[in-house]
Amino acid sequence: MKDTAHDLNATQKTEVVEGLHQALADLSVTTKKAQFFHWNVTGMSFGSLHALFEEIYNDHFAAQDEVAERIRALGAFTEGSYAEALDRTTVSEAKTVVSAEQMVEDMAVSQETISAALKELAEAATSNGDPLTEDLAIGRAQVHEKFAWILRAHLG
């Protein structure tokens, strides 16, 4: 597959990079939320949820780097502050300790939100002739859909 980063015009790059910034913001906020839940989960499902939240934040931390590097490959700079991420994201921030069930529900919604944004990014990448970003977005969307499914399975 040919790297099209140099083949995209400024308008095409801007649209794709905006979607990548959205993904980076969503991943950043959800990484922190997963850590918060990992640290604070209690109850009969402690062991499995503690491990699952850790798996999520480790995955999302690595994914942030992959998304940020794609932004750089397209010639743009990444946004770096948590305030920028919070301004951009559509994922809710975790601010208080809630029940394990509420944590699972909240994280499932976050995963579905990220997946939907990544699908939009994949469409933007496709329409702008950027198959590498399209591939990245589709792959990440699949990961988030799987996490959402696993989380929903905990709810019964």
Average pLDDT over residues 100-120: 98
Please tell me the distance from the alpha carbon of residue 135 to that of residue 122, in angstroms, as a whole number. Answer: 7
Phi, psi of 42 (to 5 degrees): -140, 170
pLDDT grade for 1, boundaries at 50, 70 and 90: very low
Q: What is the second-level CATH architecture of the domain 10-155?
A: Up-down Bundle (1.20)
The pLDDT value given to residue 9: 82
pLDDT tens-digit map of 15-74: 999 999 999 999 999 999 999 999 999 999 999 999 999 999 999 999 999 999 999 999
The pLDDT value given to residue 7: 76
pLDDT grade for 8, boundaries at 50, 70 and 90: confident
Please tell me the distance from the alpha carbon of residue 35 to that of residue 15, in angstroms, as a whole number. Answer: 31
The pLDDT value given to residue 134: 97
Quote the percentage of the chain above a pLDDT of 70. 96
pLDDT at 3 over 70: no
The pLDDT value given to residue 80: 86
Give this prediction's pTM. 0.92
pLDDT at 2 over 70: no
Q: Would you list the domain boundaries of the chain?
A: 10-155
